[in-house]
């Protein structure tokens, strides 16, 4: 009975007795390390590739690979930066950057605007104003919160922040952004300057979207001034491949996996680059179990629901256009009448 399981047992035993930093080696090398008695990063670091190769019975290249890995990990361990602990007081005294929405009452409730370092979602029925608010946010992120109303007329300068606008639906209208920017800034030159700081990319399919999101980290690395990434919308391409009964038999679990991966990347992007990721989402109607009722819920299901830290809901009826801060870890729910409090939909 024991011998039947020996393979898998051996595999687990190599990982348990090996230094956590060396587990990242390929399995074959992992075995060799354990067999030769190297358990710790520091056992390996000071050896030359040739020596280690002789000890392990591998090629020098492979040995070098192990040494490189060990060295990077060991340096991290010496400097003590592999894990850092901060106190609540430190966090409290260094709050994240906020990107103002330009809607005074909402910005006040949020403590200055949308928080950097997290994913924020806005959802609503088609035509409610998701894209309009996204375009407004792109402008105010650069203009630095000069809301249309209370900014002095002389405010014609803007910050050097950048914005990346990812358009998956083709609803981005540069002329409209210019209009909004001119309304906020007033001067022609400043408007042009602001527009030059907004980068735009159009995505045509689910594959492109996934590829783009995974390439974003390196893009933001090169463009460090980007403080806002707008994804309008996250749902369109994801939903077009949504059903498990499609003709080309799209593997459902595979799809869920790639979605989860993308969601994770978006969060990671926000945290690591300290930028705000603003995402628009569709809504869908879910029927109550057994009962007669139905309610409107954001699309993409539970997998997505945990990603955004803050969630806005926008809708438009005959006489009211509302923006509701629906979920937020720091603020109570706030309802704003967009027609009254912004000039956006006049």
Partner 1 sequence: MAEVKRARVEGPRGTGRVEVAKVVNMVKDSCARRITTGCPILDETLCGGLRTNSVHEVVGESNCGKTQFCLQLLLTSQWNEEHGGLGCKSLYINTEGSGGITATRLREFADFHASKGFLCGGGEDEGEGLGPAQASLMSMDNIFIERCTTDDPNSLLEVLLRAKTLLEHHNVKLIVIDSIANAFKGMSSSSLDDGGAQKQQHESQRLTQVLYRTMNLLKRYACDYNACVVITNHVADHIERVSVQRATQALTETLCTSGRIVRASLGMGLAQSVTCRYFVSRLEGVRLNENEYDTSGCVRAFEVVFSPFQAKRKTKYIINQSGVWGIPDAVYETGQ
User: Cα 255 to chain center, whole Å?
Assistant: 19
180-199 residues in contact with partner 1 (CB under 8 A) are 192, 195-196, 198-199
**Minimum CB–partner distance for residue 208 and partner 1 (Å):** 5
Given a contact cutoff of 8 angstroms between Cβ atoms, the answer to whether 241 and 250 are in contact is yes
H helix or E strand, kind and range, residue 24: none
Q: What share of the chain is helix, strand, coil (3-state, %, to 5)?
A: 45, 20, 35
172 binds partner 1 (CB under 8 A): yes
The distance of closest approach from Cβ of residue 281 to partner 1 in the complex, given in angstroms and rounded to an integer, is 10
The secondary element (H helix, E strand) that includes residue 108 is helix 104-109
Give min distance, CB of 328 to partner 1, in A.
21
Rounded to whole angstroms, how far apart are CA atoms 153 and 25? 61
The Cα–Cα gap between 101 and 228 comes to: 12
Find out whether 269 and 277 touch, Cβ atoms under 8 Å: yes
Residues in 120-149 at the binding interface with partner 1, rule: CB under 8 A: 124-128, 131-132, 135
108 binds partner 1 (CB under 8 A): no
Interaction residues for partner 1, span 299-338 (CB under 8 A)? 315-318
Regarding 254 and contact with partner 1 (CB under 8 A), the answer is: no
Please say which residue, 43 or 169, places its beta carbon nearer to partner 1. 169
Hunting for tokens 């900014």 — which residue is that?
151
Decide if residue 246 touches partner 1 (CB under 8 A).
yes
Q: Cα separation of 69 and 222, whole Å?
A: 25
Neighbour count for residue 11 (Cβ, 10 Å): 12
Select from 42, 202, 257, 274 the one that contacts partner 1 (CB under 8 A): 202
**Quick check: helix, strand or coil at residue 295?**
strand
Q: Does 345 bind partner 1 (CB under 8 A)?
A: yes
Distance of CA 284 to the CA centre of its chain: 23
263 binds partner 1 (CB under 8 A): no
Q: Which of 26, 27, 174, 301 binds partner 1 (CB under 8 A)?
A: 174
| CB 269 within 8 Å of CB 216 | yes
Among the residue ranges 68-76, 152-160, 202-210, 267-275, the one whose residues contact partner 1 (CB under 8 A): 202-210
Indicate whether 282 belongs to the interface with partner 1 (CB under 8 A): yes
CA distances to 155, 160, 192 from 152, rounded to whole Å, are: 6, 20, 19
Segment near partner 1 (CB under 8 A); pick from 38-46, 104-112, 153-161, 293-301? 293-301
**Rounded to the nearest whole angstrom, what is the least distance from the CB of residue 309 to partner 1 in the complex?**
24
Span interacting with partner 1, options 14-22, 52-60, 108-116, 173-181, rule CB under 8 A: 173-181
CA distance 72 to 77: 9
Within 20-59, the residues that bind partner 1 by CB under 8 A are none
Closest CB to partner 1 among 151 and 199?
199
Tell me: does residue 207 bind partner 1 (CB under 8 A). yes
Q: Does 273 help bind partner 1 (rule: CB under 8 A)? A: no
Q: In this complex, which beta carbon is closest to partner 1, that of residue 71 or of residue 239?
A: 239
Rounded Cα–Cα distance for residues 173 and 76 (Å): 47
């Amino acid at each position: 009975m024991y011998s039947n399981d020996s393979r898998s047992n051996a595999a687990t035993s190599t990982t348990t007795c090996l230094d956590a930093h060396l587990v990242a080696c390929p399995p074959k090398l992992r075995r060799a390390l354990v067999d030769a008695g190297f358990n710790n990063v520091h056992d390996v670091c000071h050896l030359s590739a040739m020596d280690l190769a002789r000890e392990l019975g591998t090629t020098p290249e492979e040995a070098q690979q192990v040494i490189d890995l060990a060295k990077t990990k060991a340096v991290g361990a010496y400097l003590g930066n592999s894990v850092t602990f901060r106190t609540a007081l430190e966090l409290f005294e260094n709050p994240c950057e906020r990107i103002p929405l330009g809607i005074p009452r909402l910005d006040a409730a949020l403590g200055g605007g949308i928080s950097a370092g997290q994913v924020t979602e806005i959802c609503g029925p088609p035509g409610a104003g998701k894209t309009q608010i996204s375009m407004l946010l792109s402008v105010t992120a650069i203009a630095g919160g000069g809301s249309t109303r209370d900014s002095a007329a002389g405010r014609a300068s803007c910050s050097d922040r950048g914005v990346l606008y990812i358009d998956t639906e083709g609803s981005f209208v540069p002329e409209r952004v210019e209009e909004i920017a001119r309304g906020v800034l007033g001067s022609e030159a400043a408007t042009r300057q602001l527009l030059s700081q907004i980068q735009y990319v159009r995505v045509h399919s689910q594959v492109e979207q996934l590829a783009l999101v995974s390439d974003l980290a390196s893009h933001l690395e090169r463009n460090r001034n980007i403080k806002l990434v707008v994804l309008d919308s996250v749902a369109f391409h994801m939903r077009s491949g949504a059903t498990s009964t499609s003709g080309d038999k799209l593997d459902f679990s595979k799809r869920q996996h790639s979605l989860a991966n993308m969601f994770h990347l978006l969060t990671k992007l926000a945290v690591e680059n300290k930028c705000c990721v603003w995402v628009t989402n569709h809504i869908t109607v879910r029927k109550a179990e057994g009962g007669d009722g139905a309610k409107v819920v954001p699309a993409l299901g539970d997998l997505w629901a945990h990603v955004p830290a803050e969630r806005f809901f926008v809708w438009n009826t005959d006489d009211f256009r509302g923006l509701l801060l629906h979920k937020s870890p720091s603020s109570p729910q706030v309802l704003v009448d967009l027609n009254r409090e912004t000039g956006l939909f006049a």
